Chain A
Amino acid sequence: MSFFMENILTIVCFFPLLGVALIILWPKGKEHDETIKWIANGVALAGFFISLPLITEFNKGQYIDSETGMRFVFKADWIPTIGAQFSVGVDGISMLLILLTTLLGFIAILSSWTAITVRVREYYCYFLLLQVGMLGVFMTLDFFLFYVFWEVMLVPMYFIIGVWGGPRRLYAAIKFFLYTLTGSVLLLLAILALYFYQHSVTGIWSFDILAMQQLNVPMNLQIWIFLGMFLGFAIKVPMFPFHTWLPDAHVEAPTAGSVILAAILLKMGTYGFVRLSLPILPEATMYFIYPLLALAVIGIIYGALVAMAQKDMKKLVAYSSVSHLGFCMLGIFIATPVALEGGILQMINHGVSTGALFLIVGIVYERRHTRMIADFGGLSSIMPVYATIFLIMTLSSIGMPTLNGFIGEFMVLQGVFADPDYWMAAVWGAVGIVLGAAYMLWLYQRVMFGKLEHEENRNLPDLNGRELATFVPLIILAFWIGLYPKTFLDYLHEPVNQIVERVRPNEFPPLPAQTDLRE
Chain B
Amino acid sequence: MPELPQISNPLEFFLINGRAIGPQLHLILWGLGLLCIDFLIPREKSRVGAFFAVGGILMSSLHLYRLWGERLASAFYGMITLDAFALFFSMLFLAAAFLSVLMSYRYLEVEEERATEYYALILFATSGMMFMAGAIDLISLFIGLELMSISTYILVGFMRRSRRSNEASLKYFLLGAFSSGVILYGMSLLYGLGGSTNLDEIALQVAGLQDNSLVSLALFMMMAGLCFKVAAVPFHMWVPDAYEGAPTSITAFMSVAVKAAAFAIFLRIFFVAFAELRETYTFVLAVIAMITISWGNLAAIKQQNIKRLLAYSSIAHAGFVLMGLVVGTEFGVMAASMYLLVYTFMNLGAWAIVILLRRQDISGERVEDFNGLFFKHPAVAVLMLVFFLSLAGIPPLGGFIAKYFVFAAVLDVVFAEAGPHTSVLVWMAVVAALNVVVSVYYYFRIVVAMFVKEDYLPAPLSFSGGLMVVLVITGLLTVWIGIYPQPFIDLARAASASLI
Contacts and interface: CB of A to CB of B under 8 A. Distances in A.
Interface of A: 78-82, 147-148, 151-152, 154-155, 158-159, 162-163, 170, 174, 177-178, 181-182, 185-186, 188-189, 192-193, 195-197, 199-200
B389 A155 contact: yes
Given A79-B486, A80-B486, A152-B396, A181 B440 contact: yes
Nearest to B429: A189
Contacts of A152: 395-396
Nearest to B378: A122
Given A79-B486, A147-B395, A174 B444 contact: yes
B400, B404, B436, B484 — which one has the most chain A CB atoms within 10 A of its CB? B404
A489 B497 CA distance: 54
Contacts of A195: 408, 411
Contacts of B429: 189
A181 B394 CA distance: 9
Contact of A178 (B385, B395, B440): B440
B254 to A, nearest CB: 29
A188 B437 CA distance: 13
B449 to A, nearest CB: 11
Nearest to B395: A148
Given A81-B489, A192-B408, A181 B448 contact: no
Q: Looking at chain B's contact residues, is the secondary structure mostly helix, strand, loop, or mixed?
A: helix
B434 interface: yes
Nearest to A179: B437
B486 A162 contact: no
Given A81-B490, A181-B437, A196 B415 contact: yes
B339 to A, nearest CB: 15
Contact of B437 (A182, A189, A196): A182
B485 A79 contact: yes
Interface of B: 385, 389, 394-396, 400, 404, 407-408, 411-412, 414-416, 429-430, 433-434, 436-437, 440-441, 444, 448, 451-452, 484-486, 489-490, 493
Contacts of A78: 484
A163 B452 contact: yes
B441 A189 contact: no
Given A155-B394, A174-B441, 20 more contacts: A79-B486, A81-B486, A82-B408, A148-B396, A148-B400, A159-B451, A162-B452, A170-B448, A170-B452, A178-B440, A185-B436, A185-B437, A186-B430, A189-B407, A192-B407, A193-B415, A196-B411, A196-B412, A197-B415, A199-B415
B440 A189 contact: no
A188 B408 CA distance: 10
B408 A182 contact: no
A207 to B, nearest CB: 11
A82, A147, A185, A199 — which one has the most chain B CB atoms within 10 A of its CB? A185
Contacts of B448: 162, 170
Nearest to A163: B452
Given A170-B452, A188-B433, A151 B486 contact: no
B389 A192 contact: no
A349 to B, nearest CB: 31
A503 B50 CA distance: 66
Contacts of B489: 79, 81-82
Contacts of A199: 415
Contacts of A162: 448, 451-452
A82 B396 CA distance: 16
Contact of A188 (B389, B396, B407): B407
Contacts of B394: 151, 154-155
A155 B389 CA distance: 9
B372 to A, nearest CB: 12
Task: Report the 9 A-B pairs with minimum CB-CB distance, sorted nearest first.
Answer: A185-B433, A196-B415, A148-B395, A192-B411, A182-B437, A81-B489, A181-B437, A151-B395, A185-B436
7 contacts: A78-B484, A81-B486, A81-B493, A163-B451, A163-B452, A186-B430, A193-B411
Contacts of A81: 486, 489-490, 493
A420 B400 CA distance: 46
B443 to A, nearest CB: 11
A189 B452 contact: no
Nearest to B415: A196
Contact of B441 (A178, A188, A196): A178
B296 to A, nearest CB: 17
B415 A200 contact: yes
A174 B452 CA distance: 13
Given A79-B489, A151-B395, A189-B411, A181 B436 contact: yes
A82 B385 CA distance: 28
Contacts of B412: 196
Contacts of A189: 407, 411, 429-430, 433
A188 B406 CA distance: 12
Contacts of A200: 415-416
Contacts of B395: 147-148, 151-152
B378 to A, nearest CB: 9
Contacts of A170: 448, 452
Contacts of B416: 200
Given A163-B452, A192-B408, A177 B440 contact: yes
B408 to A, nearest CB: 6
A81, A170, A192 — which one has the most chain B CB atoms within 10 A of its CB? A192
A147, A188, A195 — which one has the most chain B CB atoms within 10 A of its CB? A188
Nearest to A149: B395
B424 to A, nearest CB: 15
Nearest to A181: B437
A86 B433 CA distance: 25
A12 B436 CA distance: 31
A268 B434 CA distance: 21
B479 to A, nearest CB: 13
B433 A186 contact: yes
A163 B490 CA distance: 41
A155 B395 CA distance: 10
Nearest to B375: A119
Contacts of B408: 82, 192, 195-196
Contacts of B490: 81
Contacts of B437: 178, 181-182, 185
B489 to A, nearest CB: 5
A285 B484 CA distance: 36
Given A151-B394, A151-B395, A185-B433, A177 B444 contact: yes
A425 to B, nearest CB: 32
A162 B395 CA distance: 20
A27 B227 CA distance: 52
A229 B24 CA distance: 50
A79 B338 CA distance: 14
A174 B301 CA distance: 14
Nearest to B445: A174
A151 B433 CA distance: 14
A138 to B, nearest CB: 17
A177 B445 CA distance: 13
A260 B39 CA distance: 66
A195 B408 CA distance: 9
B389, B416, B444 — which one has the most chain A CB atoms within 10 A of its CB? B444
A154 B407 CA distance: 21
A352 to B, nearest CB: 30
Nearest to A183: B437
Contacts of A79: 484-486, 489
